[in-house]
Amino acid sequence: MLTKVNHIGYLYFHKFKMDDGSIKEVKATKEDYQQLGRINPQNPYIVGGVWLNSYECLNFDTPDGTIGDNQYADIEGRYKFVRVGNKVLSAKNNEIVDNELTSDGLKRVQLWQ
């Protein structure tokens, strides 16, 4: 049995390699993230680190904004995003019915394992 959660938007992050070798991710705004796609963007900066990349990820109505084990969400009516065990994958809309993976959905999960 799967539990449905809601997709409530997107989160944006900048990733830096710090002088001590660690990786630090810093939450960014949508505007900060999108300006990187413009001509002559201003790269993100942090004291003691070098910018590596930035990324966008799905945000869910869960305490930490991520999708948990045996949870799924409808993504803008286009597809389903599901997590089973440590596998996170997209599923076709017809692969989850009544909070259950259909046989085709189960096959897709097995292919990813």
Q: What is the pLDDT of residues 15-68, one digit of tens each?
A: 999 999 999 999 999 999 999 999 999 999 999 999 999 999 999 999 988 898
As a whole number, mean pLDDT of residues 80-86 equals 83
As a whole number, mean pLDDT of residues 82-97 equals 83
Task: List, edge to edge, every strand of the sheet that includes 23-28.
Answer: 23-28, 7-18, 49-60
**Who contacts 83 (Cβ-Cβ below 8 Å, separation ≥6)?**
67, 68, 69, 70, 71, 72
Specify the 3-state DSSP secondary structure of 109. helix
Give the pLDDT band (50/70/90) at residue 97.
Answer: confident
Buried b vs exposed e over 51-83: b needs ≥16 C-beta within 10 Å? eeebeeebbbeeeeeebeeebbbeeeeebbbbb
Whether residue 111 has pLDDT greater than 70: no
Q: Where are the domains of the chain?
A: 3-112
Whether residue 113 has pLDDT greater than 60: no
Whether residue 109 has pLDDT greater than 80: no
Q: CA Rg, the chain, in Å? A: 17
